[in-house]
């Protein structure tokens, strides 16, 4: 089954790596966009935010970014100002953002990606930290 899935990925991020691995554990090879190297255009970022049911503030990443230095905690900043900051500093875009035929989602925690996959997991899956997410029969562990 050919499935078109895109992951906005940061290979330095464990959550992003786990999400990518679960997509592949479903037998799907996604389009991987390393968004720090190739950030989405502003119009695309706006579309992804809207399709995910988020606001620009919901997509902002604080940890390991210039969030505080840029004063992005100021709740009076407009969505345009937040988008400007994300365009200037792509590290501010939280990840992984996954696009599938089912929808768009910020996959934090990584197992949220399972809701976007049109195929079952092919086998067991454990996160890098050892947490079991999918059992040997390919079913999500509760």
Which 8-state DSSP code applies to residue 137?
A: T
Active site residues per annotation: 13
Which residues, in sequence order, are CB contacts of 77 under 8 Å at separation 6+? Answer: 71
The answer to whether the CB of 48 falls within 8 A of the CB of 42 is no
79-88 vs 42-51: helix crossing angle, rounded to 10: 120
Which residues, in sequence order, are CB contacts of 11 under 8 Å at separation 6+? Answer: 17, 34
The answer to whether the CB of 37 falls within 8 A of the CB of 64 is no
As a whole number of angstroms, the distance between CA 4 and CA 2 comes to 7
């Amino acid at each position: 089954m050919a499935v078109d899935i895109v992951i906005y990925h940061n290979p330095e991020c464990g959550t992003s790596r786990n999400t990518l691995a679960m997509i592949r554990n479903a037998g799907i090879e996604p389009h991987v966009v390393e968004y720090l190297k190739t950030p989405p255009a502003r119009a695309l970022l706006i579309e992804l935010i809207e399709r995910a049911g988020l606001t620009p503030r919901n997509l902002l990443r604080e940890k390991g970014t210039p969030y505080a230095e840029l004063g992005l905690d100021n709740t009076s900043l407009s969505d345009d100002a937040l988008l400007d900051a994300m365009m200037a500093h792509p590290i501010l875009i939280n990840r992984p953002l996954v696009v599938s035929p089912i929808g768009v989602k910020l996959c934090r925690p990584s197992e949220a990606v399972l809701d976007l996959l049109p195929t079952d997991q092919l086998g067991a899956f454990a996160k890098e930290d050892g947490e079991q997410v999918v059992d040997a029969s390919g079913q999500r562990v509760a």
